[in-house]
Amino acid sequence: MARSRTPPRDELERLYRALQARQASSLADPALSDLIGEILAESIHVLARYNRAELQTKIPDKTYFAFESRDGKISRAINSALYQPSPQDWNLFIAALRSENFAGIDEHMITCTIYSVAIGFCAYIDLTRTGDQKTPGTFFEYLIGHLFGSRLDLAPSTRLPVLNLDMNTTLPTDFVFDLGAGQPKFHLPIKTSTRERVIQVWAHQRVLDGVYGTGRFLGTPVILAETKTDTRRREVTEICLPDQWRIYQMHIAQLRRVYYLDVPAAYERLNEVFPPLHVVPFGKFFTELDDLTS
């Protein structure tokens, strides 16, 4: 009943369902870039009806706001510098993706446009549903899977055969992109945030290294952000465990990159210690691909 009174929400949901209906095997379809562009345009339209509430934060060099409904419900925290929702920017990025020519645009603009698509959709779900973590997570997985797959011109798989003496089974995995015989394969866990569950990413990398051989899979998780909002105090913090990440990287397995849309300050510093753990904005992936695979 409520639905017929809120057509804009229906439109965003209709677009989301069209995305969600795709199998992983069709995620590199160029048509999905246009569908995601429609989702961006629609989310700009519907979010314009909400106020922006400034949030406090002690994170250096970052400011955050949230969209706020009339009854005081707020969305997740949105990085003010990264949120620049622009269909034009999206189209520029998609044109570069399709032509495989990234000469004309910079990495930061790519990070901003992907961040704006992702956080805009997530914020709208935060405002219109209660306790739905699954829809933002699924949307983000499809968004990143599509963009990563488009860059490689490859669809992901989510199961790998295990042939090990008397074992003959399949291993369920996060998205895996296989560049072919004698080429690297990408292991791509995709999360809106990790918190204490992050050890799973290293553990899955360890299993891939163990079953198929170290170096065969490049572990490159893509994560949206690690922000947490205290809704009463309206304050944003980043939940980070950099010492533990270093221990995981030394003792469980080696990740090649950790890509973030909104790179947490405490993890950015991991680039500067030895041995470095490369935590970089996701926009960089599109231009550094050749370095990763060579």
Residues of this chain that bind a copy of itself (CB under 8 A): 162, 164, 167, 169, 171-172, 197, 199-200, 202-204, 206-207, 209-211, 243-244, 246-248, 250-252
Put the strands of the sheet holding 64-68 in their side by side order.
78-79, 64-68, 51-57, 235-238, 227-230
By beta-carbon proximity to a copy of itself, the closer residue of 8 and 242 is: 242
Q: In the block, which residue shows the tokens 């229906």?
A: 10
Q: What is the DSSP letter of 129?
A: S
Nearest to 140 by CA among 159, 123, 162, 128: 123
Q: How far is the CB of 57 from a copy of itself (least distance, A)?
A: 25
By beta-carbon proximity to a copy of itself, the closer residue of 95 and 162 is: 162
Q: How far is the CB of 75 from a copy of itself (least distance, A)?
A: 23
Q: In the block, which residue shows the tokens 């569908």?
A: 35
What lies within 8 Å, CB to CB, of 268 at 6+ separation is 279
Distance of alpha carbon 110 from alpha carbon 95, whole angstroms: 12
By beta-carbon proximity to a copy of itself, the closer residue of 51 and 169 is: 169
Q: How far is the CB of 168 from a copy of itself (least distance, A)?
A: 9
Nearest to 136 by CA among 125, 145, 127: 125
By beta-carbon proximity to a copy of itself, the closer residue of 73 and 246 is: 246
Q: How far is the CB of 268 from a copy of itself (least distance, A)?
A: 19
Distance of alpha carbon 243 from alpha carbon 44, whole angstroms: 38
Q: How far is the CB of 167 from a copy of itself (least distance, A)?
A: 7
Q: How far is the CB of 270 from a copy of itself (least distance, A)?
A: 13
By beta-carbon proximity to a copy of itself, the closer residue of 81 and 250 is: 250
By beta-carbon proximity to a copy of itself, the closer residue of 203 and 292 is: 203
Q: How far is the CB of 160 from a copy of itself (least distance, A)?
A: 11
E strands, 2-114, where? 51-57, 64-68, 78-79
By beta-carbon proximity to a copy of itself, the closer residue of 102 and 212 is: 212
Long-range pairs of 84-92 with CB within 8 A, sequence gap ≥ 24: 84/112, 84/113, 84/116, 85/40, 85/43, 85/44, 85/116, 85/117, 85/120, 86/113, 86/116, 87/37, 87/40, 87/41, 87/44, 89/113, 89/116, 90/36, 90/37, 90/40, 90/117, 91/37
Confirm if 127 and 50 have CB atoms less than 8 A apart. yes
By beta-carbon proximity to a copy of itself, the closer residue of 112 and 258 is: 258
Q: How far is the CB of 261 from a copy of itself (least distance, A)?
A: 25
